[in-house]
Amino acid sequence: MLVHDTALVFGRYARQTLRSRFQMLFGVLMPLLYLLFFGPLLDGLPLGSSGDSWQVLIPGLLLQLVLFGASFTGFSIIVEKSTGVVERMRVTPVSRLALLLGRVLRDALLFVVQAVLLVLAALAMGLRAPLPGVLIGFAFVALLTVALASLSYALAMKVATPQEFGPVINAVAMPAMLLSGLMLPMTLGPAWLDIASHFTPLRYLVDAVRDAYVGSYATSHMLYGALVAVTFAVAALAAGARVFRRAGA
């Protein structure tokens, strides 16, 4: 039943996404702007890591895309609560977990597609990276989406208005972006900032994807990145599932 229900919920939201292609393209706009107007600034700068500046920047932009995209997916639940869609689904015997999983899987697919678009644009700008590394990058995009979207939906189930929701997400996403070294490697900064950054889960994902983009797969960065990403995704799903099971209760 869980698989049946998840497929059903996934199908509903995937169809809605397909219908709004504009929205899908709009999602890549911000990272695309960074790619075009910020990327060239880094060309040839000593970034303190192996690989050229594109191999440093693109992994950061991929995860930034997810950080600012997936974190806000909960908005759709707030809208659906006001139209009664959420309760109308919750009075059916549908699995509560499926109501979350179906949405989160749609998001994972959506952000991987957006990541592919971004990487294609980056190739045109001059990115050169090994294919396995690029694919590993997409896996991290999917895992981070699952984690952030689950938390976003869970928060959205709890709050009553978009006015309560947006500021909370921004208050978390902005420091996460700055502290994780999405734009520039944290190793460039002073020691205290580097240490602070290690308390941000996203830092480990960024390091792992940067390694992947230069073809270093068997590294401690990769190990920690994978561990943190999987743990974060599982914990966030569990937290989200708890909220979806008890919503309104």
Give the whole-angstrom CA distance, residue 52 versus residue 151.
Answer: 34
Asked if 80 touches other proteins (CB under 8 A), the answer is yes
Please give the Cα distance from 57 to 183 (Å, whole number). 6
Nearer to other proteins, 162 or 201 (CB): 162
Q: Which of 84, 124, 190, 199 binds other proteins (CB under 8 A)?
A: 84
Q: Under the criterion CB under 8 A, does residue 8 sit at the interface with other proteins?
A: yes
Hey, is 108 helix, strand or coil? Answer: helix
Q: Which residue lies nearer to other proteins by CB, 14 or 212?
A: 14
Tracing tokens 């208005």 back to the chain, one arrives at: 161
Stretch that binds other proteins, among 31-39, 64-72, 76-84, 121-129 (CB under 8 A): 76-84
46 part of the interface to other proteins, by CB under 8 A: no
The DSSP annotation for 46-109 comes to: --SSSS-HHHHHHHHHHHHHHHHHHTTTTHHHHHHHHTTHHHHHHTSS--HHHHHHHHHHHHHH
117 binds other proteins (CB under 8 A): no
> What x-and-dash track marks residues 88-107 binding other proteins by CB under 8 A?
xxxxxxx-------------
Distance between CA atoms of 84 and 199, rounded to whole angstroms?
39
Q: How far is CA 100 from CA 9, 11, 104, 126, 131, in A?
A: 9, 13, 6, 38, 32
* Residues 78, 73: Cα–Cα separation, whole Å: 10
Q: Verify binding: residue 23, other proteins, rule CB under 8 A.
A: no
Asked if 159 touches other proteins (CB under 8 A), the answer is no
Give min distance, CB of 249 to other proteins, in A: 4
Q: Which is nearer to other proteins, 82 or 161 (CB)?
A: 82
Residue 177-196 contact track with other proteins, rule CB under 8 A, x = bound: --------------------
Q: Which of 80, 129, 126, 134 lies closest to 103, judged by CA?
A: 80
Which residue, 11 or 48, is less far from other proteins as judged by CB? 11
Positions touching other proteins (CB under 8 A) are 1, 4-5, 8, 12, 16, 80, 82-85, 87-94, 246, 248-249
